[in-house]
Chain A
Amino acid sequence: MRGVLLTGALIALIPLVLVIFYLLQKGLSSWSGSFFTTDPNGNFFGNPGGIRSAILGTLEIVALASLIAVPVGIGVALYLTEYGGEGRFAGVVRYFVDVMTGVPSIVFGLFIYIVLVLAKVGGAFTGWKGAVALSLLMLPIVIRAAEVVLLLVPSSLREAALALGAPRWRVVARVVLPTALPGLVTGSLLAIARGMGETAPLLFTTAGAFGLTFNLSQQMNALPLQIYNDILSPRDVVVARAWGAALTLVALVLILNLVARAIARRSVA
């Protein structure tokens, strides 16, 4: 029986090994200086270009999404742990945040499409709308992780601060948040890593572009979008670019994941 279970555990790891193996095998060859410094072009012939606009687009969109999701998420988590407690409203909020984690990412894209894109709020497809869709996806992750971490702050610390005569907002700002900081960072990084890899929410909010732009009110490129578009191209060089871009994306995501776990492990020590 031990053998069966061990086999099961090993089978679980095979896909990870295979994916990384093929990514390295097919993607590394695309990596080059120009790969990272040129933008993709839509040409049918010749050099298809690199993925610069995709990388920068991803970084910009995810940065904006994080700017929304992380503070709001920590704020809601603070409400749940410091003010809401066991109350009925807090219970309802918790329930729906939990439910929110199960909503398919494409549905979030649809939500934003209906509310912002169709209504043509500030343009049609824009980078910032994609960021909003991603932030919806990241929000429940941040809230859940933050709540766990905030609850881990011993109540004796809150008591000590209150007994000194501190108003509750100072207790939160000067004692609770600093103590919980490593865990909050970990949770946020994991949420950001998740947001970075999502394609569906961007499909009808940002829609993609070729050229490089720093203007979030325009259509922007992003790594997942670039990969998705390139996969079904009949041109081999474009497919090769997809592999290179996929390797880049996975590298970014894995680095974020490992950094997040390292921070978590260090704070426990």
Chain B
Amino acid sequence: MGASATTAPGGRSVFQRSPASRLPDQVLKWGLRALAAAILALLAYFFIRLIGQSEKALSSFGLSFVFGNDWDVSRNIYHGFPLLFGTLVTSAIALVLGVPVAVASALYVTELCPRRLRGPLSVLVDLLAAVPSVVYGLWGVFVLAPKLEPIEKWVASTFSFIPFVGGQVSVPNYFIAGLILAIMILPIVSAISREVMATVPAEHKEAALALGATRWEMIRMAVLPYSRPGITGGVMLGLGRALGETIAVVLVIGNAPVVGHSIFSQGYSLAAVIANEFGEAAATPIHSSALFAAGLVLFVLTLIVNIFARRFIARGQRGLRGTGATGVTVAQAGAPE
């Protein structure tokens, strides 16, 4: 370090460092700041270019792109409601099937499980996230779909009075896709639920138990209300994941650009159409543009869901902690059985 000696009274040196050695600090600070800014700029740039590429299709079809029901490659008509429909239906099925299981497993791990099993069990559920989506797709096509077909047929005929259930059963269908998505979002929802439940203050739980509540009543009174915002946030993150999943869905949904009449019909999704039709679309500008537009719709959809999810999770972390609301609910637990 170039310490230039400044002779002050007493002949002492030090204190003034050459500007050169201030350099690394400045370089690091501004370099890192620039890096972070570059990432943001990059995201914005990508978004703008995506809009640019979608422009052709969006201006040709307008709102029908999203709400019109006619996706016909041969006639170059791209009204994408079947895609949006399939995306939403499969994600809804994923939530209906996956969330109860995820929350139940999270509750079990945090509240009821013997302590030494807690670690291994959490790791196992988390490992579900490690399996690549193409492997889920492979398993779905060759194992799940064929094996579930007879059950689906039975359900379709027995419960045909329920709307959207009865009718012909296809092997790749919304239901299988939704089921696989449920498995894929399990780890996310479960992990966040576990985290949130673990932060429930022990005092609230003890207060409930001391009032004579059973374990389940304590969970219902103290743990669940406290965790609700956080769990909701986790569910929304899972929803975001389900909306955007491509490969697993494209392999088991059937890729039929129609609005299916039952959950056991074939369908399509925004992500699946992009993966599936990309090759042939390369030659047709309007087709490619339509696929980009589908990507744009998907991007915006997941963006919105994610932003709301973050808000819920943040609220969950701030919220009930300070209001004492949990104390009130616990007090309402009532007489023991």
Contacts and interface: CB of A to CB of B under 8 A. Distances in A.
Interface of A: 1-2, 4-9, 11-13, 15-16, 18-19, 22-23, 26, 72, 75-76, 78-80, 83-84, 89-90, 92-93, 95-107, 110-111, 114-115, 118, 139, 167-169, 172, 193, 196-200, 203-204, 224, 227-228, 231-232, 239, 242-243, 246, 249-250, 253-254, 257, 261
Contacts of B58: none
Contacts of B135: 19, 23, 197, 227, 246, 249-250
Interface in B287-304: 292, 295, 298-299, 302-303
A55 to B, nearest CB: 14
Given A5-B105, A228-B137, 5 more contacts: A2-B216, A9-B125, A12-B104, A18-B143, A250-B130
B67 interface: no
A167 B307 CA distance: 38
Contact of A13 (B39, B124, B132, B219): B124
A76 B35 contact: yes
Interface string B41-82: 001011001101100000000000000000000000000000
A196 B132 CA distance: 8
B244 A106 contact: yes
Interface stretch (B161-169, B201-209, B270-278, B326-334): B270-278
A141 to B, nearest CB: 11
Interface of B: 21-22, 24-25, 28-29, 31-33, 35-37, 39-40, 43, 45-46, 49-50, 52-53, 100-105, 107-109, 111-113, 121, 123-125, 127-128, 130-139, 141-143, 183, 186, 190, 214-216, 219, 237, 240-241, 243-247, 251, 271, 274-275, 278, 292, 295, 298-299, 302-303, 305-307, 309-310
B57 to A, nearest CB: 14
B216 A7 contact: no
A95 B302 CA distance: 15
Nearest to B271: A106
Contacts of A254: 127, 130
Contacts of A243: 138
Specify which of A4, A79, A92, A95 lies most central, judged by the most chain B CB atoms within 10 Å of its CB: A79
A167 B237 CA distance: 41
A6 to B, nearest CB: 6
A12 B128 contact: yes
B246 A104 contact: yes
A2 B108 CA distance: 8
A16 B104 contact: no
Contacts of B123: 261
A242 B52 CA distance: 37
A39 B166 CA distance: 47
Nearest to A102: B306
